Amino acid sequence: MVVFEKPKSLTNAEFHYCPGCTHGIIHRLVAEAIDTLGIEGITIGVAPVGCAVMAYNYFACDMVEAAHGRAPAMATGIKRSLPDNIVFTYQGDGDLASIGMAETVHAATRNENITVIFVNNAIYGMTGGQMAPTSLPGQVTQTSPYGRDVTVAGYPVKVAELLSSLDGPEFIARVAVNNVKNVRTAKATIQKAFENQINKQGFSLVEVISSCPTNWGMTPENALRWVDEKMIPYYPLGVFKDKSAAKEEC
Amino acid sequence: MSDKVLMKGNEAIAEAAIRAGCRHYFGYPITPQTEVAAYMAKRMPKIGGVFLQAESEIAAINMVYGVAGTGRRVMTSSSSPGVSLKQEGISYIAGSDLPCLIVNVQRGGPGLGGIQPSQSDYFQATKGGGHGDYHLIVLAPSSVQEMADMTSKAFDLADKYRMPAMLLADGTIGQMMEPVKLAEPVEHPFVEKEWAVTGTKMQREHHIVNSLYLVPEQLEKKNFERYERYKKVEENEVIYESFMMDDAEYCVVAFGIAARVSKNAVVAARKEGIKVGLIRPVTLWPFPKKVLSETAEKVKGFLSVELSMGQMIEDVKLATSCRRPVGLCRRSGGMIPSPDEVLEAIKNMQRGEE
């Protein structure tokens, strides 16, 4: 009996991610959801600009590569053209919460029937560790060498909280992948975000707190600990908006 | 062909696009082209099409990028400042070898400029506009009839060569009303393109729509392949109109609304015994280089008439290898020359020559 195998909706291409980076886990969770729901043949993924820029090589479904921050707009076009297909974006914090904030907010407020996987690791990884919109106050990065000074650079953007204040979106949740328990919750939440799309319920975003040992300057183990000690207290986990669940309660 | 109807140029674009099988429109309001969006907003929901007012021109062009990747006919329209915002997306669409239509109903610039007609986006439209090595097919209508005809033509050329096409109009043609004969609607059932992302249905390898090539040898190869296609466009798709050129000693070169004004000036000059004609580039890219080069052997001089500080004049000089003097008659910032002004410029050219 096979108890553990590579998800079928991942290709055999080797990931380029750094050792200890949790993008690999998140890719796997997305692929497992696609496999479980049997939707690989109708799914179209939108890769971002950032660490996951080459995600189009890793997912076996049809893929497109968006301009920086524009994934939700591109996904909107694809979904409006092919409403019976499943469309997801996979974006980092710089892509989604900085340069692409307008596209994110408006896709959410339109309740565009897409699934957004938002990987928040509080740093620009691909370009070598600059301050992200989600970098924590005091966090040292290449462009905040003395720590993020909120009087100069402002405060981190809490995407899940921000988007859940809109009337439009169907489902907004934040999860983490730094321990087994959190990975299991993340898996179920990501799958729900795809199920919502299948059920035509609308915009579903899962913010995934991720680690970046390379650019945080930590060992993978310490990076996971930093997620627990620093990231999660600032970015609390949970479901921030679930319109269908709210309706059921009424 | 259906009967003639009286239409605004902007509306003619929208109706012609629908008749050409376009069912996806994304735009953002900007004067003087908003009638395209308004028309689409009314019509698309009635025919099962998609009209979506995007949050910005940037979002609109990236929505276009998404639909283009699925292989369906799609368009956006805007005016100069908005088209500047679209350049990023246009570069990606060109880099991904996808067809689509972008309409620019030009207004005066730079910056926020004004809302009156202009042709000062000629460089942007014909030289690329965004970053990287690429071209658009650029069509320049000079009447409401051509707004309709060239919309349809632009979709066909974009599909044929897998590249974005631009309709480079101006605020005059966009806003004015003229009788127009619209083509019968084409039945355009969705034909799955061999490269489109539509879902693998678990029956083929995945398709990737992409403009990223990290290996320079691969990117160079892609660009060379693209320019091979561009060469075919230049060989096969040049369109121009020749007016009173048979015995002409002087040649006016003008496109769009400037060409209509120039035609009046040419007729008036002929009445005064000046042997002058007009060559009107209809495709601005590919530019009618060959006919201009041949004309340089026959005429004493050229006059470029433009609603800009002088942009197309550079292509006229290049096409003619500066073998004859090339004068410039220009208005800018939303101003249009009168036929008398152009006539005066023609006379100046003649005096300069004698």
Domain end call among B210, B236, B262: B236
Q: Is the pLDDT of residue B56 over 70?
A: yes
Size of interface A-B (CB pairs under 8 A): 130
**Cβ contact B69:B96 at 8 Å:** yes
B67 vs A103: CB contact, 8 Å cut-off? no
The answer as to whether B212 is a domain residue is no
Taking CA–CA distances from B195, the nearest residue in chain A reads A62
A74 vs B55: CB contact, 8 Å cut-off? no
A73 vs B66: CB contact, 8 Å cut-off? yes
- Tell me how far CA of residue B316 lies from CA of A134, B296, B323, B327, in angstroms: 52, 10, 11, 10
What is the least distance, in Å, from the CA of B98 to any CA of chain A? 12
Q: What is the pLDDT of residue B187?
A: 72
Helix (H, G, I), strand (E, B) or coil at B223: helix
Q: What is the pLDDT of residue B338?
A: 97
What is the least distance, in Å, from the CA of A201 to any CA of chain B? 19
What is the least distance, in Å, from the CA of B11 to any CA of chain A? 23
**Are residues B229 and B259 part of one domain?**
no
CB-based contact, B24 to chain A, within 8 Å? yes
State the average pLDDT for chain B: 96
Mean pLDDT (whole number) for B290-298: 98
**Are residues B314 and B228 part of one domain?**
no
Give the separation between CA B92 and CA B123, rounded to whole angstroms. 19
What is the least distance, in Å, from the CA of A120 to any CA of chain B? 23
The answer as to whether B215 is a domain residue is no
A1: CB partners within 8 A, 6+ apart: none
**Are residues B285 and B232 part of one domain?**
no
Token pair 């291409």 in the structure block, residue: A13
Residues in A touching B74 (Cβ below 8 Å): 77, 81
What is the least distance, in Å, from the CA of A34 to any CA of chain B? 13
Q: Encode pLDDT of B31-44 as tens digits.
A: 999 999 999 999 99
Centre a 10 Å sphere on the Cβ of residue A230 and count the other Cβ atoms it contains: 15
A85 vs B199: CB contact, 8 Å cut-off? yes
**Are residues B294 and B261 part of one domain?**
yes
Structural domain for B144, as ranges: 4-199+224-236
The total number of residues shown for chain B amounts to 354
**Are residues B330 and B283 part of one domain?**
yes
Q: What is the CATH classification number for the domain harbouring B51? A: 3.40.50.970
**Are residues B292 and B143 part of one domain?**
no
Q: What is the pLDDT of residue B186?
A: 85
**Are residues B285 and B163 part of one domain?**
no
**Are residues B157 and B281 part of one domain?**
no
**Are residues B253 and B158 part of one domain?**
no
In chain B, DSSP assigns E strands to 4-8, 24-27, 50-53, 75-78, 100-106, 137-139, 164-170, 177-181, 208-209, 240-243, 250-253, 276-281, 283-285, 301-306, 326-330
Q: What is the pLDDT of residue A226?
A: 98
CATH 3.40.50.970 at A23-249, yes or no? yes
Q: Encode pLDDT of B316-333 as tens digits.
A: 999 999 999 999 999 999
Q: What is the pLDDT of residue B302?
A: 98
Mean pLDDT (whole number) for B164-182: 97
Pairing, β A86-92 against β A123-124: unpaired
Helix (H, G, I), strand (E, B) or coil at B321: coil
| ipTM (interface pTM) | 0.96
Which of A 4-33 lie inside 8 A of B, CB atoms? 11
**Cβ contact A137:A228 at 8 Å:** no
Q: Encode pLDDT of B233-279 as tens digits.
A: 999 999 999 999 999 999 999 999 999 999 999 999 999 999 999 99
- Tell me how far CA of residue B179 lies from CA of A63, B143, B182, in angstroms: 45, 10, 10
Centre a 10 Å sphere on the Cβ of residue B282 and count the other Cβ atoms it contains: 20
Q: What is the pLDDT of residue A250?
A: 65
CB-based contact, A82 to chain B, within 8 Å? yes
CB-based contact, B240 to chain A, within 8 Å? no
**Are residues B250 and B154 part of one domain?**
no
CB-based contact, A66 to chain B, within 8 Å? yes
Give the separation between CA B161 and CA B237, rounded to whole angstroms. 11
- The residue ranking higher by pLDDT, A3 or B71, is B71
The answer as to whether B217 is a domain residue is no
Q: Encode pLDDT of B304-320 as tens digits.
A: 999 999 999 999 999 99
What string of pLDDT tens digits covers the 250 residues of chain A?
A: 888 899 999 999 999 999 999 999 999 999 999 999 999 999 999 999 999 999 999 999 999 999 999 999 999 999 999 999 999 999 999 999 999 999 999 999 999 999 999 999 999 999 999 999 999 999 999 999 999 999 999 999 999 999 999 999 999 999 999 999 999 999 999 999 999 999 999 999 999 999 999 999 999 999 999 999 999 999 999 999 999 988 877 6
Q: Is the pLDDT of residue B215 over 90?
A: yes
The answer as to whether B209 is a domain residue is no
With bands split at pLDDT 50, 70 and 90, how would you rate the model's confidence at B353?
low
Q: What is the pLDDT of residue A18?
A: 96
Give the separation between CA B37 and CA B236, rounded to whole angstroms. 32
The pair of structure tokens assigned to B22 is 């376009």
Q: What is the pLDDT of residue B189?
A: 56
> Domain total for chain B?
2
Instruction: Give the closest residue to B110 by CA, choosing from B141, B143, B83.
Output: B83
φ, ψ (nearest 5 deg) of residue B295: -65, -30
CB-based contact, A40 to chain B, within 8 Å? yes
- The residue ranking higher by pLDDT, A2 or B58, is B58
The answer as to whether B178 is a domain residue is yes
Q: Letter for the amino acid at A84?
A: D
Option in B66, B203, B212 nearest A74 (CB): B66
**Are residues B278 and B231 part of one domain?**
no
Give the separation between CA A48 and CA B274, rounded to whole angstroms. 61
Q: What is the CATH classification number for the domain harbouring B284? A: 3.40.50.920
Helix (H, G, I), strand (E, B) or coil at A95: helix
The answer as to whether B117 is a domain residue is yes
**Are residues B231 and B257 part of one domain?**
no
The answer as to whether B208 is a domain residue is no
Q: Structural domain boundaries of chain A?
A: 23-249
Residues in A touching B202 (Cβ below 8 Å): 40-41
A62 vs B199: CB contact, 8 Å cut-off? yes
What is the least distance, in Å, from the CA of A83 to any CA of chain B? 11
